[in-house]
Amino acid sequence: MTSNLDAARDLFLQASQRLQRDDFAGAETQLRAALDLAPGRPSIMVNLSAALIAQEKYAEAKTLAAQVTVVEPGNAQAWLNLGRCQEYEKQYAEALNAYDRALACQPDYAEAWCSRGNVYKARQEFDQARAAYDKAIALQPNLAEALGNQAMLYLRLDRPAEAVPMIARAIAAKPALPYGYSIRMHAKAALCDWSSYAADCAALKDSVVSGRGNVLPFTFVALPADAALQKQCSTAYAASKYPAAGSPRPAAAPRDGRKLRIGYFSADLQEHAVGYLVAGLFEQHDRDGFEIHAFSFGAPAKDAMRQRLRAGVDHFHDVYASSDAETCELARSLNIDIAVDLTGYTRNERTGIFARQAAPLQVNWLGFPGTMGAPFMDYIIADATIVPPEHFPHYSESVVHLPHTYQSTDNKRQISNRIFSRAELGLPERGFVFCSFNNNYKLTPDVFAVWMRLLRQVPGSVLWLLESSSGISTMLHRSAAKHGIAPDRIVFAKRMASPEHLARQPLADLFLDSFHYNAHTTASDALWAGLPVLTRIGNTFAARVAASLLRAVNLPELITETTDDYEALALALATDPAKLQAIRQKLATQRDSCPLFDTPRFTRNIEAAYRAMWDRHLAGLPPAHIAIDENSPREGTAS
Phi, psi of 452 (to 5 degrees): -70, -35
pLDDT of 432 above 90: yes
CA dihedral (45, 46, 51, 56) positive or negative: positive
pLDDT at site 89: 86
Mean pLDDT of 595-615: 98
pLDDT of 120 above 70: yes
Alpha-helical regions (H) of 89-125:
92-105, 110-122
**CB neighbour class for 74 (10 Å; exposed up to 12, middle 13-18, buried from 19):** exposed
pLDDT in tens, 260-319: 999 999 999 999 999 999 999 999 999 999 999 999 999 889 999 999 999 999 999 999
pLDDT at site 254: 73
Alpha-helical regions (H) of 463-562:
472-482, 498-504, 521-528, 545-552
pLDDT of 633 above 70: no
pLDDT at site 407: 98
pLDDT of 64 above 90: yes
The three-class DSSP label of residue 272 is coil
Partners of 266 in the β-ladder? 296
pLDDT at site 638: 66
| 637/447: higher pLDDT | 447
The phi-psi region of residue 300 (left if phi > 0; otherwise alpha if psi is between -120 and 50; otherwise beta) is beta
Of the CA atoms within 13 Å of residue 41, those in its CB half-sphere come to 19
Q: Give the H/E segment covering residue 16.
A: helix 2-20
Q: Are 623 and 608 in contact (CB under 8 A)?
A: no
The three-class DSSP label of residue 626 is strand
Length of the chain: 639
CA 480 to chain CA centroid, Å, is 30
The full 3-state SS of 37-71, as one line of letters, equals HCCCCHHHHHHHHHHHHHCCCHHHHHHHHHHHHHH
Dihedral Cα 205, 211, 217, 221, nearest 10 deg: 30
pLDDT of 367 above 70: yes
3-state helix, strand, coil in the chain (%, to 5): 55, 10, 35
Rounded to whole angstroms, how far apart are CA atoms 599 and 277?
10
Q: Are 296 and 320 in contact (CB under 8 A)?
A: yes
pLDDT of 634 above 90: no
Rounded to whole angstroms, how far apart are CA atoms 110 and 133?
9
pLDDT at site 2: 57
**CB neighbour class for 400 (10 Å; exposed up to 12, middle 13-18, buried from 19):** buried
Mean pLDDT of 185-196: 97
Write down the mean pLDDT value for the chain. Answer: 95
Which residue type occupies 70?
V
Partners of 339 in the β-ladder? 263, 362
Of the CA atoms within 13 Å of residue 196, those in its CB half-sphere come to 12
Task: Count the Cβ atoms, other than its own, within 10 Å of residue 384.
Answer: 17
Alpha-helical regions (H) of 483-576:
498-504, 521-528, 545-552, 563-575
pLDDT at site 258: 82
Q: Please state, for a pLDDT cut of 70, what percent of the chain lies above it.
A: 98
CA 158 to chain CA centroid, Å, is 15
Residue partners of 263: CB distance under 8 A and separation at least 6: 293, 294, 295, 331, 334, 336, 338, 339, 340, 358, 359
Buried b (16+ CB within 10 A) or exposed e, 240-265: ebbeeebeebbeeeeeeeebbbbbbb
Q: Are 190 and 155 in contact (CB under 8 A)?
A: yes
Q: Please state, for a pLDDT cut of 90, what percent of the chain lies above it.
A: 90
Partners of 264 in the β-ladder? 294, 340
Pairing of strands 636-638, 626-628: antiparallel
Phi, psi of 188 (to 5 degrees): -65, -40
Mean pLDDT of 558-585: 98
Rounded to whole angstroms, how far apart are CA atoms 164 and 193?
9
Rounded to whole angstroms, how far apart are CA atoms 279 and 564?
38
Give which of 451, 449, 473, 476 is closest to 461, Cα–Cα: 451
Mean pLDDT of 32-59: 94
Mean pLDDT of 567-581: 98
Give which of 415, 587, 405, 409 is closest to 511, Cα–Cα: 587
Dihedral Cα 523, 526, 531, 535, nearest 10 deg: -10
Q: Are 265 and 350 in contact (CB under 8 A)?
A: yes
Calculate Rg over the CA atoms of the chain.
26
pLDDT at site 470: 76
The phi-psi region of residue 373 (left if phi > 0; otherwise alpha if psi is between -120 and 50; otherwise beta) is left
Give which of 363, 269, 219 is closest to 353, Cα–Cα: 363
Partners of 401 in the β-ladder? 382, 627
Mean pLDDT of 385-402: 98
pLDDT at site 426: 96
pTM of the model: 0.95
Mean pLDDT of 546-574: 98
Task: Count the Cβ atoms, other than its own, within 10 Å of residue 93.
Answer: 11
CA dihedral (124, 126, 130, 136) positive or negative: negative
Mean pLDDT of 67-80: 98
Please give the domain boundaries of the chain with CATH numbers for all domains. 2-207 (1.25.40.10), 260-411+600-638 (3.40.50.11380), 423-596 (3.40.50.2000)
Buried b (16+ CB within 10 A) or exposed e, 197-220: beebbeebbebbeeeebbbbbbbb
